[in-house]
Structure 1
Amino acid sequence: MALTMTRTRTQTALTKLVERLSNVKGELEYVEVLLVAKPNAAGSLLSRQRLLQDQHAALCATLKQFDQGIDLEQVVAGAGWQKVYRVRTQQSLARRYLAAAGGV
């Protein structure tokens, strides 16, 4: 019984970490697109990019501790991070994202 519970907890933790990594990758890609599209907001976007890169590195290190054989390159960029902004269009997303990041 204890083995099953431990395995279930480990799998749940791995799943949540991979989902978080996917969202961080997606947001990093979005920040890179915004850096090109909105150069006037580069200051706040660059600080957000550094934060996301640090989170990415920490998540990768944590996942490697859980499972040495995990291939982190297989984790694709997700869009779950966009749910916080509750928008329907990319224009609205950019506006709210920049406002939250302290940009223009």
Structure 2
Amino acid sequence: MSVLLGYGNGSFSDQVAYSTGANPSSVAVGNFNNDTQLDTVVANYNSNSVSILLGYGNGSFADQMTHSTGTYPCSVAVGDFNNDNQIDIVITNNGDNTMSV
């Protein structure tokens, strides 16, 4: 995953790369640890996993935490799917035609 911070004038900083699993295919953002900072989740198609990178609030992220998914996760989205006021993650898995929450 690469991050390019915007300057507000249509230009961006040089990219900063962060490690994820193999063949990252989709990314979503949310506040996953309730610290008011944006975090990212990345679907890793060939690793059958998602990577969660917690944000520090200054445009940088902690090292990835990896969680298993179904086969070939290809898309990720976030929302409060069980109405507990916590952000949840949903992943569609192309290889086994399932979705993971």
Report the TM-score range of the alignment, normalised by the length of the smaller protein.
under 0.3
The structure with the greater share of residues assigned to helix is 1
Larger Rg: 1
TM-score (norm 2): 0.21
The structure with the greater share of residues assigned to strand is 2
TM-score (norm 1): 0.20
Higher relative contact order (CA 8 A, sep 6+): 1
